[in-house]
Structure 1
Amino acid sequence: MLEEEYEPRRRLPPHLRKPPTPETPFAFTMRDATAADLPDIRAIYNHYVANSMVTFDEDAMTLAEWRSKFAYLQRLQLPFIVAVNPTGQILGYALCAPWKQKRAYRFTVESSIYLGAAATGKGLGTDLLGELIERSKAAGLKEMLAVIADKGAESSIALHEKFGFTEVGRMGRVGFKFDRWIGTVLLQKSLKR
């Protein structure tokens, strides 16, 4: 039979058709990170260690290392937040760490934001950074820095610029990962009220 000899497929009238299943909206809440969140945080971070140049770490972080880092940030009372979906799954996290160890730097922090693969491109990074900035202000911090790879992290640079971070410097070829040299872009935001 020729194509024109086929009868067109019949469709049910609209009132008899099954309505389309609505897509589940992307929903999350933010809260302080807890020690119980560390295995999921480690999994998110280690994905970036193994698959990207957004972190210069080359070795996966262990749970013991994350526990130590978590205790250190808690002792310093620095913001460390997670975004969770309605079932409690960790979608991403944001934290502040001291910029340098010398005491004079105590009001300056470096931000870090990492998202699980299923949570990218949905505005979660924007919400996490906004919350991190507000919590950092409330903690009495004065300056926030972001050190971002100069290749493959353009969306992170754009996100920080959207929040008023300005570029204050670049370092070329300071990291070597995946057989490639990588530089960094240094962005800064004043948190003074």
Structure 2
Amino acid sequence: MNCTLRDADFDDLPAITEIYRESVLHGVASYEIEPPPLEEMRTRFSAITADGYPYIVATDSSDRIVGYAYASAFRTRPAYRWLVEDSIYLAPEARAQGVGKALLAELIKRCTALGFRQMVAVIGGAHPASVAVHRSAGFEHGGLMKATGFKHGHWLDTVIMQLALGEGASSAPAPDAYPATMRQ
């Protein structure tokens, strides 16, 4: 599927909310049980973008949003500031069409430019397609947490994958350096 990637904005949130709703109700990528309402998705979007993290959407040839991705803090303690977690969600018709791969590649590019050194994927349900798209982008297996979520009547495993960005761990950051999202 040919898609166009661009920054997400507030007007995109109804479509983003619907994509996430479908994923929560029918998938295992998110361990949420009840889909959050639009207002909660607005709050989440505002928090992520206010911190300067990238949040992007993929649109099809009709300019309809078919997927979205964002990076966010993995943890809030200061030593984690060089590490981001990626999140990617697709509309059902966009799955297995290269949209997730395009979103991930763009997210990697943007996070590298912002100065982050590592990206982690926390893959709910050990979803094979998500594992495959991350592997194709160079992520390495970082671990398996068994039976970490209970959804749709069964236990779900979580796969952790990791990708070095830029110089990764080959050098220490400058003592006063911060990723661009933290230079405010």
For Structure 1 versus Structure 2, the TM-score category normalised by the shorter chain is: 0.7 to 0.9
The residue aligned with 2:20 is: 45
CA distance in 2, matches of 1:102, 1:68: 21
Once the two structures are superposed, what CA deviation does each residue of 1:137-167 show, in whole Å capped at 9, x if it has no partner? 111111100011344x101101111111111
The residue aligned with 2:121 is: 146
CA distance in 1, matches of 2:99, 2:162: 21
Matched, 1:192 2:173: no
CA-CA distance at 1:114 after TM superposition: 0.9
What is the RMSD computed on CA atoms of the aligned residues? 1.2
Moved over 3 A (4+): none
CA distance in 2, matches of 1:150, 1:120: 16
CA-CA distance at 1:172 after TM superposition: 0.7
TM (norm. structure 1) is 0.83
Counterpart of 1:41, as a letter, is I
Which has more radius of gyration?
1
Unpaired segments of 5 or more residues in structure 1?
Answer: 1-25
Q: What secondary structure does 2:36 align onto?
A: coil
* Mapped contact 2:28–2:125 kept (Cα < 8 A): no
Matched, 1:162 2:155: no
Counterpart of 1:87, as a letter, is S
The residue aligned with 2:157 is: 183
CA-CA distance at 1:132 after TM superposition: 0.7
CA distance in 2, matches of 1:150, 1:170: 10
TM (norm. structure 2) is 0.87
The residue aligned with 2:46 is: 71
- Alignment match of 1:84 (pick from 59, 69, 72): 59
Question: Relative CO higher for 1 or 2, CA cutoff 8 Å, sep ≥ 6?
Answer: 2
CA distance in 2, matches of 1:154, 1:97: 23
CA-CA distance at 1:170 after TM superposition: 1.1
The residue aligned with 1:6 is: none
Matched, 1:130 2:97: no
CA-CA distance at 1:168 after TM superposition: 1.1
The residue aligned with 1:21 is: none
Q: Name the count of aligned residue pairs.
A: 167
Q: What secondary structure does 1:146 align onto?
A: strand
Counterpart of 1:138, as a letter, is A
- The alignment-based identity, stated in percent, is 37
Once the two structures are superposed, what CA deviation does each residue of 1:59-95 show, in whole Å capped at 9, x if it has no partner? 1111111111111111111011001123321010111
Matched, 1:108 2:83: yes
